[in-house]
Amino acid sequence: MIMLENIKDAVRKFLTGSTPYEKAVDEFIKDLQKSLISSDVNVKLVFSLTSKIRERLTKEKPPSILERKEWFISIVYDELSKLFGGDNEPSVNPTKIPYIIMLVGVQGSGKTTTAAKLAFFYKKKGYKVGLVAADTYRPAAYDQLAQLGSQIDVPVYGEPNNTNSIEIAQHGVSTFIKNKIDIIIVDTAGRHGYGEETKLLEEMKEIYEAIRPDEVILVIDASIGQKAYDLALRFHQASPIGAIIITKMDGTAKGGGALSAVAATGATIKFIGTGEKIDELEVFNPKRYVARILGMGDIETILDKVRGLEEYEKVQKKMEDLMTGKGKLTLKDVYDQLVALRKMGPLSKVLQHIPGLGVLLPTPTEEQLKLGEEKIKRWIAALNSMTYKELENPSIIDKSRMRRIAEGAGLEIDEVRELLEWYNNMNKLLKMVKRRRSDIEKLFGGKL
């Protein structure tokens, strides 16, 4: 994919280089700005992005579990994800059957090929799909779609001698509904160029009124870069049930500009076309996309630590609630805590940064740390081997259940027994803390 490739190199250089931190941050931000601007991302958006990154650096403190450089890259990841749509991950599953999708787009956007790619995508998911060739403006449009439909074994409805696209769309939809087709994709005429959005949207409304689709998708060529903003904005305002597909991401350096421009309108980017082959259409997930351009290997370790810390903090909040008498500790809570710990990295580093883990490892010598990491791994295996009922109500685990859990996890039965003893001791400890807290509250005549 021709886009922002050099950002991966900048991330690796930043994380592994010996340049002093402040200077390295300045250099990285300059490299990021150059890469985004060369990818046709709007200059205002670029400088807004980098100023937000700098603002967060001054206002926020890094989590104790992350090195400063890792924390900086996690901020870059967050802000870049927002630039390309943030948490706006689309749903691609049809909400009803039959489900009618209408594709619109200007001439040359790759709409007809995208119609076939979309049909192939849903066919692989097990749906019965039909294509309607309602593009009467381009002479070869029906032949092209018929050929593509034949390649993927999807029926194509068309009327080569009829010039009325609305009639063809109506006939095609009604035929496929009679034939019990699950998803009907209507390819409409792409007769207008960029800059003629008004005419395109007028035609879209006419066909929409005729066939009443469940979804309208605008197809945009990535090579138009930030010019996609005006078209996407007009479409987003005109079609409340609309989404967008950006095509030809593999063949242009302006893909970043198109993606950020569309995301800035608030419109949903549903798919991106990543190549010419029929299966080269992927669901667009902004966070996964940003992780890829930053370098999956480099960013994934950092994100795991951040996610692990977030999950651990949730577990700690549950533990605090338990100490005040709210709820009951279950093996599911223990599982969540152990999984969160593993995500945060080696136990030696985790212990340095998170107080209170001495309950698990009171004297963390190097040998004990190794044993502790192995024990966590084996306990997680045991917990994975338990049923939901066992995790929620450990008192039902008798000897025969212990034996089954041990066999399922590849452990000795004594290891399962040790885990359960540890769990019981934790419960006793919590009860003792609750009693002491209650006694102190009585002493002071109320809740603390």
- Residue 62: alpha-carbon gap to chain centroid: 24
Whether 186 and 322 map to the same domain: the answer is: no
Whether 270 and 166 map to the same domain: the answer is: yes
Q: Cα separation of 119 and 251, whole Å?
A: 22
Residue 250 assigned as binding residue: yes
Whether 70 and 105 map to the same domain: the answer is: no
Whether 364 and 417 map to the same domain: the answer is: yes
3-state secondary structure of 328: coil
Residue 356 assigned as binding residue: no
User: Between helices 331-343 and 296-323, what is the axis angle to 10°?
Assistant: 150
Residue 160, in any domain of the structure: yes
3-state secondary structure of 100: strand
Q: What is the CATH number of the domain that holds 184?
A: 3.40.50.300
Q: What is the CATH number of the domain that holds 395?
A: 1.10.260.30
| pLDDT tens column, 360-385 | 444 456 676 677 778 888 888 888 88
Residue 108 assigned as binding residue: yes
Structure tokens that stand for 112 in this block: 């007809």
Residue 296, in any domain of the structure: no
Residue 249 assigned as binding residue: yes
pLDDT band at 443 (very low <50, low <70, confident <90, very high): very low
Residue 277 assigned as binding residue: no
Boundaries of domain holding 234: 99-283
Residue 189 assigned as binding residue: yes
Greater pLDDT, 83 or 398 = 398
pLDDT the model gives residue 191: 57
Residue 252 assigned as binding residue: no
Whether 126 and 258 map to the same domain: the answer is: yes
Residue 262 assigned as binding residue: no
Model's pTM, two decimal places? Answer: 0.64
Residue 359 assigned as binding residue: no
Whether 19 and 59 map to the same domain: the answer is: yes
Residue 188 assigned as binding residue: yes
Q: How many domains does the chain have?
A: 3
Residue 291, in any domain of the structure: no
Residue 448, in any domain of the structure: no
**Which of 83, 108, 138 delimits the end of a domain?**
83
Whether 42 and 117 map to the same domain: the answer is: no
Alpha-carbon distances of 428 from 142, 177, 223, rounded to whole Å: 74, 64, 64
Q: Cα separation of 391 and 335, whole Å?
A: 9
**Which of 250, 283, 316 delimits the end of a domain?**
283
Whether 204 and 330 map to the same domain: the answer is: no
Residue 264, in any domain of the structure: yes
pLDDT the model gives residue 174: 93
Task: List CB contacts of 125: < 8 A, sequence separation 6 or more.
Answer: none
Residue 187 assigned as binding residue: yes
Q: Cα separation of 298 and 67, whole Å?
A: 14
Has residue 166 got a pLDDT over 50?
A: yes
**Which of 228, 249, 283 delimits the end of a domain?**
283
Q: What is the CATH number of the domain that holds 36?
A: 1.20.120.140
108: burial class by Cβ within 10 Å (0-12, 13-18, 19+)?
Answer: middle
pLDDT band at 317 (very low <50, low <70, confident <90, very high): low
Whether 205 and 78 map to the same domain: the answer is: no
Greater pLDDT, 111 or 131 = 131
Residue 299, in any domain of the structure: no
pLDDT the model gives residue 419: 87
Residue 247 assigned as binding residue: yes
In this prediction, what percent of the chain has a pLDDT beyond 90?
14
Whether 215 and 327 map to the same domain: the answer is: no
Whether 77 and 107 map to the same domain: the answer is: no
Yes or no: say if 309 and 344 are a contact pair by the CB < 8 Å rule.
yes
Give me the chain's average pLDDT, please.
78
Residue 248 assigned as binding residue: yes
Report the 10 Å Cβ neighbour count for 314: 13
Residue 298, in any domain of the structure: no
Yes or no: say if 69 and 12 are a contact pair by the CB < 8 Å rule.
no
Name the DSSP letter for residue 359: G
Residue 110 assigned as binding residue: yes
pLDDT the model gives residue 128: 93
Whether 311 and 408 map to the same domain: the answer is: yes
Residue 190 assigned as binding residue: yes
